[in-house]
Amino acid sequence: MSDPQIPATGQPGGPTPPAPVTDTRSVATGQKVEPPTRFQVAMNEIMGGSIMISFLSIVLAMLVGALLIAVTDPNVQATAGYFFSRPGDLLNAVWQSVAGAYSSLFQGAIYNFRRPEFADAIKPIMQTLNFATPLIIAGLGIGLGFRAGMFNIGGRGQMLIAIGISGWIGFSFDLPYGIHMIVAIIGGMVGGALWGGLVGLLKARTGAHEVITTIMLNYVAFYLISYLLRTPGALQAPGSNNPKSPGMKETAVFPKLLGDQYALNLGFIFAIIATIVVWWILARSSLGFKFRAVGVNPSAARVAGINVGSVFIWVMVISGALVGLAGVSQILGTVTTGFSSGIDAGIGFDAITVALLGRSKPWGIFWAGILFGALKAGAFSMQAAQGIPIDIVLVVQSMIVLFIAAPPLVRALFRLPTPGVFKKSMPTRLKVEGL
């Protein structure tokens, strides 16, 4: 009796090999449908991805701003009265109005080409980076909370507490240069971390929603700092009746990076370091993995063994510390002559917009902060040169957020593809190509 042998593939009794995939056909029409190539999939992701949506949102917001500039310009209004007899006058007036406004915005934010000296011409970009510094750092803190599913709306309160502590250390103590600055930085970050950590603790222990607690703590911080600024012996300057603190001592002030002729100071270096640190936390650390897991689905993260309550506390501690560092850069780098209760300058709320524009990604927030710093720096030049209200820039910022929050609207206006559509058919293509 011969030994049993396994039938060869394709012979009678053997396993039937799978039929080679040669094409794909539509179920509805039966016609051959070419599956997407790798290049098509990549272009689909790029053209319909978040970077393109963010860029086009900025473009749309600038167009809305141009429309408002033109409508409110007196020359445009005057030429509109006889548009049908001389339409060229209206078009020329619109061009002069919009081009002049955005040219002034560019010169006030990036490069002033009217200055003969290069050293003077680059002062606007230095001012932009100086305005962007606290926006970047605070935006990183807000964005970190977003990635963990925590809506930190308490940037203002965390900044004010950090400014109060850091400013008090900055004008009250006599410490050596360098040490004084480090102590003031640590004090401000600890204050912001504690103020933010309180929100995380309430969320973890009682389930209190962070939006409510952060908003309420904003008011607590504001009125607390206001009270201390009116109290002699606390934060109020000695011998003054005004609610303002003394100026910071030179040993605590951030040094200028490129000399006294430029506004850019050490705070911008801290912004770069903070961006790298937050990127590493989210992309490379186990703590960042827990943050992202809880942000996607807290229930699933809890089933997987993650202590969700601990994550809530830690993310708000780190978020508050970052926002506190933004406050420190404001008081030790930008406003060193003393502060009042309005020292935050709305940065705590602007940081929410920066985090949204940056898609809560560290480097996205970095560039979004620079953009908003440019808008803030250029707005003053635009108002001085063209008489255009700064409110126009606020409208542009608001429109950016509006379009960022509505990606389907942007895709519909520019006929962009929806990312991820081709990915489902990609395996079929790989089979066709024998991969």
C-beta separation of 361 from 367 below 8 A: no
pLDDT at 219: 95
Q: Answer yes or no: is 429 within a domain.
A: no
CA distance 384 to 68: 18
Q: Answer yes or no: is 195 within a domain.
A: yes
pLDDT at 310: 94
Q: Answer yes or no: is 290 within a domain.
A: yes
Q: Answer yes or no: is 410 within a domain.
A: no
Strand partners, 180: none
pLDDT at 434: 44
pLDDT at 329: 94
pLDDT at 113: 84
Q: Answer yes or no: is 229 within a domain.
A: yes
Q: Answer yes or no: is 245 within a domain.
A: yes
pLDDT mean for each 10 residues of the chain (435 residues): 47 52 50 62 64 85 90 88 86 90 89 86 92 95 94 93 95 91 96 96 93 95 94 88 91 90 92 96 93 93 93 96 95 89 88 90 94 89 80 84 83 79 48 42
pLDDT at 433: 41
Amino acid at 399: M
How many domains would you assign to the chain? 1
Indicate the angle between helix axes 179-206 and 308-329, nearest 10 degrees: 150
CA distance 274 to 267: 10
- Taking the CA of residue 278 as centre, how many other CA atoms within 13 Å lie in the half-sphere pointing to its CB? 33
Q: Answer yes or no: is 339 within a domain.
A: yes
CATH of residue 338: 1.10.3470
Q: Answer yes or no: is 57 within a domain.
A: no
Number of other CB atoms surrounding residue 401 within 10 Å: 16
Give the H/E segment covering residue 274: helix 267-284
pLDDT at 429: 43
pLDDT at 414: 84
> Residues with Cβ < 8 Å from 403, sequence gap 6 or more?
53, 56, 57, 60, 61, 409, 410
Q: Is 406 exposed, middle or buried (0-12, 13-18, 19+ CB in 10 A)?
A: middle
- Taking the CA of residue 266 as centre, how many other CA atoms within 13 Å lie in the half-sphere pointing to its CB? 13
46 three-class SS:
helix
C-beta separation of 75 from 97 below 8 A: yes
pLDDT at 428: 46
Domain that holds residue 255: 132-388
Please give the C-alpha separations between residue 33 and each of 27, 125, 389, 394, in angstroms, as whole numbers: 10, 52, 55, 48
Please give the C-alpha separations between residue 235 and each of 181, 225, 248, 327, in angstroms, as whole numbers: 18, 8, 12, 16
**DSSP per position, 128-173:** HHHHHHHHHHHHHHHHHHHHTT-----HHHHHHHHHHHHHHHHHH-
